[in-house]
Amino acid sequence: MLFGHVVMGGNVAVTILTRRTLLHSMAGAAVAGCALPALSSTQKAPDLRGPYLDLTTPEGNVEAYARIAGSVDPEQSSYSWYFGRVTGHRPGEAGRDLMNIIGMGSVRMLPLDGEPGYQMLRKELGFFTDSETDEVIDSWTNPYIDEKVEVVHIANPGINAKIKPYRREQGLYEEVGGRDSAKPFLLPWKQIGDRAMVEQHANLYVKNPMDPEIWQRESSGKFISISDSNTFNVSIADLQNAELKKVPSFGNWTHQRPWQPWMLMGSAPGFIQYTCFTGSAASLEDLPPQIVGLARERFPEFLTAPTEITPPESSLARYMRTRKPRAQQP
Is the pLDDT score of 310 beyond 60?
yes
Q: For the chain, what percent of residues have pLDDT higher than 70?
A: 83
Confidence of residue 172 (pLDDT cuts 50, 70, 90): low
Residue 36 sits at the vertex; the CA angle it makes with 233 and 42, to the nearest 5 degrees, is: 105
36 domain residue, yes or no: no
Domain that holds residue 193: 10-30+46-322
329 domain residue, yes or no: no
25 domain residue, yes or no: yes
103 domain residue, yes or no: yes
Is the pLDDT score of 176 beyond 80?
no
3 domain residue, yes or no: no
Answer for the pair 274, 4: CB distance below 8 angstroms, yes or no.
no
Answer for the pair 158, 310: CB distance below 8 angstroms, yes or no.
yes
140 domain residue, yes or no: yes
pTM of the full structure: 0.83
**In this structure, how many other beta carbons lie within 10 angstroms of the beta carbon of residue 255?**
23
Residues belonging to the chain = 330
41 domain residue, yes or no: no
Confidence of residue 140 (pLDDT cuts 50, 70, 90): very high
Confidence of residue 8 (pLDDT cuts 50, 70, 90): very low
Peptide bond into 248 cis (omega under 30): no
303 domain residue, yes or no: yes
Counted domains in the chain: 1
